Amino acid sequence: MIEIKNLHKSFGDLVVFDGASIHVEDGQSLVVMGKSGQGKSVLLKLITRLLYPDSGNIYIDGEDLGSLNPNQLVKCRLKFGMLFQSAALFDSLNICDNVGIGLKAKNRYSDSEIDSKVQESLQRVGLVDVGQKFPAQLSGGMRKRVGLARVVAMEPKYILYDEPTTGLDPVTSAQIAMLIKEMQDDLKVTSIIVTHDIPTGFFLADKIVLLDQGNFSFVGSVEEMRKSELKSVQDFISGYKEETDIKFR
Protein backbone atom coordinates (compact mmCIF):
# COMPACT_ATOMS: atom_id res chain seq x y z
CA MET A 1 0.00 0.00 0.00
CA ILE A 2 1.07 3.57 -0.68
CA GLU A 3 0.16 6.21 1.90
CA ILE A 4 0.76 9.94 1.54
CA LYS A 5 0.23 12.05 4.65
CA ASN A 6 0.24 15.84 4.96
CA LEU A 7 2.49 16.34 1.93
CA HIS A 8 4.03 19.76 1.33
CA LYS A 9 6.18 20.73 -1.64
CA SER A 10 7.06 24.14 -3.07
CA PHE A 11 9.38 25.43 -5.74
CA GLY A 12 10.24 28.93 -4.62
CA ASP A 13 6.97 30.82 -4.33
CA LEU A 14 5.07 28.13 -6.24
CA VAL A 15 3.17 25.87 -3.84
CA VAL A 16 2.56 22.48 -5.46
CA PHE A 17 1.35 20.48 -2.44
CA ASP A 18 -0.14 22.03 0.64
CA GLY A 19 -0.99 19.26 3.09
CA ALA A 20 -2.20 16.63 0.61
CA SER A 21 -3.04 13.12 1.86
CA ILE A 22 -4.15 9.99 0.00
CA HIS A 23 -3.74 6.22 0.17
CA VAL A 24 -3.68 3.57 -2.55
CA GLU A 25 -4.68 0.02 -1.64
CA ASP A 26 -2.82 -2.98 -3.04
CA GLY A 27 -4.21 -3.94 -6.44
CA GLN A 28 -6.05 -0.63 -6.82
CA SER A 29 -5.90 1.67 -9.82
CA LEU A 30 -5.70 5.30 -8.75
CA VAL A 31 -6.13 7.97 -11.41
CA VAL A 32 -4.73 11.42 -10.63
CA MET A 33 -6.35 14.14 -12.71
CA GLY A 34 -5.96 17.88 -12.84
CA LYS A 35 -5.11 20.80 -15.06
CA SER A 36 -1.59 21.28 -16.40
CA GLY A 37 0.84 22.66 -13.85
CA GLN A 38 -0.99 21.33 -10.79
CA GLY A 39 1.78 18.92 -9.82
CA LYS A 40 0.59 15.56 -11.13
CA SER A 41 4.00 14.49 -12.45
CA VAL A 42 5.69 15.94 -9.37
CA LEU A 43 3.62 13.53 -7.29
CA LEU A 44 5.14 10.53 -9.10
CA LYS A 45 8.65 11.90 -8.56
CA LEU A 46 7.94 12.34 -4.85
CA ILE A 47 6.65 8.78 -4.55
CA THR A 48 9.82 7.40 -6.17
CA ARG A 49 12.01 9.87 -4.24
CA LEU A 50 13.36 11.53 -7.35
CA LEU A 51 12.18 14.65 -5.54
CA TYR A 52 12.02 15.20 -1.79
CA PRO A 53 9.04 16.76 -0.02
CA ASP A 54 9.45 19.84 2.13
CA SER A 55 7.48 18.06 4.82
CA GLY A 56 5.03 15.20 5.23
CA ASN A 57 5.40 11.45 4.90
CA ILE A 58 5.18 8.90 2.11
CA TYR A 59 4.88 5.26 3.17
CA ILE A 60 5.50 2.32 0.84
CA ASP A 61 4.29 -0.95 2.37
CA GLY A 62 4.52 0.67 5.78
CA GLU A 63 8.05 2.03 5.31
CA ASP A 64 8.52 5.78 5.61
CA LEU A 65 10.66 6.84 2.64
CA GLY A 66 12.17 9.60 4.74
CA SER A 67 13.66 7.07 7.14
CA LEU A 68 15.37 4.87 4.53
CA ASN A 69 19.10 4.87 3.98
CA PRO A 70 20.41 4.88 0.36
CA ASN A 71 20.59 1.08 0.11
CA GLN A 72 17.10 0.66 1.52
CA LEU A 73 15.80 3.30 -0.88
CA VAL A 74 17.27 1.46 -3.87
CA LYS A 75 15.57 -1.73 -2.69
CA CYS A 76 12.27 0.11 -2.30
CA ARG A 77 12.52 1.61 -5.78
CA LEU A 78 12.79 -1.87 -7.25
CA LYS A 79 9.12 -2.31 -6.37
CA PHE A 80 8.25 0.35 -8.96
CA GLY A 81 8.00 0.50 -12.72
CA MET A 82 7.28 3.71 -14.56
CA LEU A 83 5.95 4.49 -18.01
CA PHE A 84 7.14 7.97 -18.96
CA GLN A 85 5.33 10.40 -21.26
CA SER A 86 7.94 9.92 -23.98
CA ALA A 87 8.49 6.20 -23.20
CA ALA A 88 12.16 7.17 -22.50
CA LEU A 89 13.69 4.55 -24.78
CA PHE A 90 17.40 4.53 -25.60
CA ASP A 91 17.78 5.46 -29.26
CA SER A 92 21.09 3.60 -29.63
CA LEU A 93 19.65 0.27 -28.42
CA ASN A 94 17.34 -2.02 -30.33
CA ILE A 95 13.95 -2.88 -28.86
CA CYS A 96 15.06 -6.14 -27.23
CA ASP A 97 17.95 -4.40 -25.50
CA ASN A 98 15.67 -1.56 -24.40
CA VAL A 99 13.23 -3.98 -22.80
CA GLY A 100 15.96 -6.07 -21.19
CA ILE A 101 18.16 -3.28 -19.87
CA GLY A 102 16.72 -3.37 -16.37
CA LEU A 103 16.96 -7.14 -16.18
CA LYS A 104 20.64 -7.00 -17.12
CA ALA A 105 21.27 -4.37 -14.46
CA LYS A 106 19.93 -6.73 -11.80
CA ASN A 107 22.71 -9.27 -12.55
CA ARG A 108 20.27 -11.97 -11.52
CA TYR A 109 19.41 -13.63 -14.83
CA SER A 110 21.30 -15.51 -17.51
CA ASP A 111 21.25 -14.23 -21.08
CA SER A 112 18.77 -16.91 -22.08
CA GLU A 113 16.47 -16.02 -19.17
CA ILE A 114 16.62 -12.35 -20.14
CA ASP A 115 15.82 -13.19 -23.77
CA SER A 116 12.84 -15.27 -22.64
CA LYS A 117 11.49 -12.53 -20.36
CA VAL A 118 11.95 -9.90 -23.07
CA GLN A 119 10.05 -11.95 -25.65
CA GLU A 120 7.28 -12.70 -23.15
CA SER A 121 6.94 -9.00 -22.31
CA LEU A 122 6.87 -7.94 -25.97
CA GLN A 123 4.23 -10.57 -26.64
CA ARG A 124 2.11 -9.15 -23.81
CA VAL A 125 2.02 -5.77 -25.51
CA GLY A 126 1.45 -7.18 -28.99
CA LEU A 127 4.91 -6.49 -30.42
CA VAL A 128 6.44 -9.86 -31.24
CA ASP A 129 8.26 -8.88 -34.44
CA VAL A 130 10.02 -5.61 -33.56
CA GLY A 131 12.85 -6.83 -31.33
CA GLN A 132 15.66 -5.96 -33.74
CA LYS A 133 14.27 -2.57 -34.72
CA PHE A 134 15.25 0.73 -33.12
CA PRO A 135 12.94 3.27 -31.44
CA ALA A 136 13.15 5.71 -34.36
CA GLN A 137 11.61 3.06 -36.60
CA LEU A 138 8.46 2.79 -34.46
CA SER A 139 5.35 4.94 -34.15
CA GLY A 140 4.59 6.85 -30.96
CA GLY A 141 2.06 4.25 -29.88
CA MET A 142 4.48 1.41 -30.48
CA ARG A 143 7.17 3.18 -28.45
CA LYS A 144 4.69 3.48 -25.57
CA ARG A 145 4.06 -0.26 -25.85
CA VAL A 146 7.80 -0.96 -25.72
CA GLY A 147 8.06 1.25 -22.64
CA LEU A 148 5.29 -0.76 -21.01
CA ALA A 149 6.98 -4.03 -21.98
CA ARG A 150 10.15 -2.85 -20.25
CA VAL A 151 8.14 -2.07 -17.11
CA VAL A 152 6.35 -5.43 -17.15
CA ALA A 153 9.60 -7.35 -17.64
CA MET A 154 10.80 -6.12 -14.23
CA GLU A 155 7.72 -7.58 -12.50
CA PRO A 156 7.04 -4.53 -10.30
CA LYS A 157 4.49 -4.36 -7.53
CA TYR A 158 3.59 -0.79 -8.47
CA ILE A 159 3.35 0.78 -11.92
CA LEU A 160 3.31 4.56 -12.32
CA TYR A 161 2.03 6.07 -15.56
CA ASP A 162 2.86 9.67 -16.45
CA GLU A 163 0.36 10.88 -19.08
CA PRO A 164 0.37 7.53 -20.95
CA THR A 165 -1.79 8.75 -23.85
CA THR A 166 -0.31 12.23 -24.37
CA GLY A 167 0.57 12.95 -27.99
CA LEU A 168 -1.34 9.97 -29.39
CA ASP A 169 -4.29 9.99 -31.73
CA PRO A 170 -7.68 8.90 -30.29
CA VAL A 171 -7.51 5.36 -31.71
CA THR A 172 -3.99 4.74 -30.41
CA SER A 173 -4.89 6.32 -27.07
CA ALA A 174 -7.77 3.86 -26.71
CA GLN A 175 -5.45 0.96 -27.57
CA ILE A 176 -2.92 2.03 -24.93
CA ALA A 177 -5.69 2.42 -22.35
CA MET A 178 -6.96 -1.08 -23.13
CA LEU A 179 -3.44 -2.45 -22.77
CA ILE A 180 -2.97 -0.77 -19.39
CA LYS A 181 -6.29 -2.21 -18.26
CA GLU A 182 -5.19 -5.68 -19.33
CA MET A 183 -1.93 -5.30 -17.39
CA GLN A 184 -3.86 -4.32 -14.27
CA ASP A 185 -6.24 -7.26 -14.56
CA ASP A 186 -3.63 -9.87 -15.54
CA LEU A 187 -0.73 -8.87 -13.27
CA LYS A 188 -2.76 -7.61 -10.28
CA VAL A 189 -0.41 -4.66 -9.88
CA THR A 190 -1.15 -1.43 -8.06
CA SER A 191 -1.31 1.46 -10.52
CA ILE A 192 -1.12 5.23 -10.25
CA ILE A 193 -2.08 6.89 -13.53
CA VAL A 194 -1.49 10.60 -14.00
CA THR A 195 -3.60 12.05 -16.81
CA HIS A 196 -5.71 15.02 -17.84
CA ASP A 197 -7.52 12.82 -20.38
CA ILE A 198 -10.97 12.28 -18.86
CA PRO A 199 -12.13 9.32 -21.01
CA THR A 200 -8.88 7.44 -20.29
CA GLY A 201 -9.04 8.28 -16.61
CA PHE A 202 -12.66 7.19 -16.25
CA PHE A 203 -11.94 3.93 -18.07
CA LEU A 204 -8.94 2.98 -15.91
CA ALA A 205 -9.88 4.21 -12.44
CA ASP A 206 -10.94 2.29 -9.39
CA LYS A 207 -10.53 5.59 -7.57
CA ILE A 208 -10.04 9.12 -8.93
CA VAL A 209 -8.49 12.14 -7.27
CA LEU A 210 -8.51 15.68 -8.64
CA LEU A 211 -5.41 17.70 -7.85
CA ASP A 212 -6.22 21.38 -7.51
CA GLN A 213 -4.37 24.22 -5.78
CA GLY A 214 -2.08 22.05 -3.71
CA ASN A 215 -4.52 19.45 -2.52
CA PHE A 216 -6.87 16.69 -3.60
CA SER A 217 -10.13 18.58 -3.95
CA PHE A 218 -12.01 15.41 -4.90
CA VAL A 219 -11.48 11.76 -3.94
CA GLY A 220 -13.94 9.09 -5.02
CA SER A 221 -15.20 6.71 -7.67
CA VAL A 222 -15.83 7.50 -11.32
CA GLU A 223 -19.57 7.61 -10.72
CA GLU A 224 -19.12 9.93 -7.76
CA MET A 225 -17.00 12.26 -9.86
CA ARG A 226 -19.59 12.29 -12.65
CA LYS A 227 -22.24 13.38 -10.13
CA SER A 228 -20.06 15.72 -8.10
CA GLU A 229 -21.20 19.31 -7.73
CA LEU A 230 -17.84 20.53 -6.45
CA LYS A 231 -16.76 23.64 -8.34
CA SER A 232 -13.24 22.29 -8.97
CA VAL A 233 -14.71 19.14 -10.55
CA GLN A 234 -17.27 21.01 -12.61
CA ASP A 235 -14.66 23.50 -13.83
CA PHE A 236 -12.29 20.71 -14.83
CA ILE A 237 -14.89 18.67 -16.70
CA SER A 238 -16.47 21.75 -18.28
CA GLY A 239 -13.09 22.96 -19.50
CA TYR A 240 -12.38 19.59 -21.04
CA LYS A 241 -15.74 19.52 -22.80
CA GLU A 242 -15.22 22.95 -24.28
CA GLU A 243 -11.69 22.16 -25.38
CA THR A 244 -12.43 18.85 -27.05
CA ASP A 245 -16.14 19.12 -27.97
CA ILE A 246 -16.77 15.69 -26.46
CA LYS A 247 -20.14 14.81 -25.02
CA PHE A 248 -19.89 12.76 -21.83
CA ARG A 249 -22.50 10.27 -20.88
- Domains in the chain (CATH in brackets) are 1-79+191-249 (3.40.50.300)
**Rounded average pLDDT over 41-67:** 95
Q: Residue 158: which H helix or E strand, with range? A: strand 158-162
Q: What is the spatial distance between Cα 55 and Cα 6, in angstroms, rounded to a whole number?
A: 8
The torsion angle over the Cα atoms of residues 28, 159, 33 and 213, rounded to 10 degrees, is 100
pLDDT of residue 249: 35
Q: What is the spatial distance between Cα 25 and Cα 40, in angstroms, rounded to a whole number?
A: 19
C-beta separation of 159 from 183 below 8 A: yes
Percent of the chain with pLDDT over 70: 96
pLDDT in tens, 118-148: 999 999 999 989 999 999 999 999 999 999 9
For the question of whether the overall pTM of this predicted structure is more than 0.85, the answer is yes
Q: What is the spatial distance between Cα 72 and Cα 177, in angstroms, rounded to a whole number?
A: 33
**Rounded average pLDDT over 190-195:** 95
pLDDT of residue 246: 36
**Rounded average pLDDT over 33-61:** 94
- In the predicted model, is pLDDT for residue 248 greater than 50? no
Per-residue pLDDT band for 244 (boundaries 50, 70, 90) equals very low
C-beta separation of 128 from 119 below 8 A: yes
pLDDT of residue 241: 53
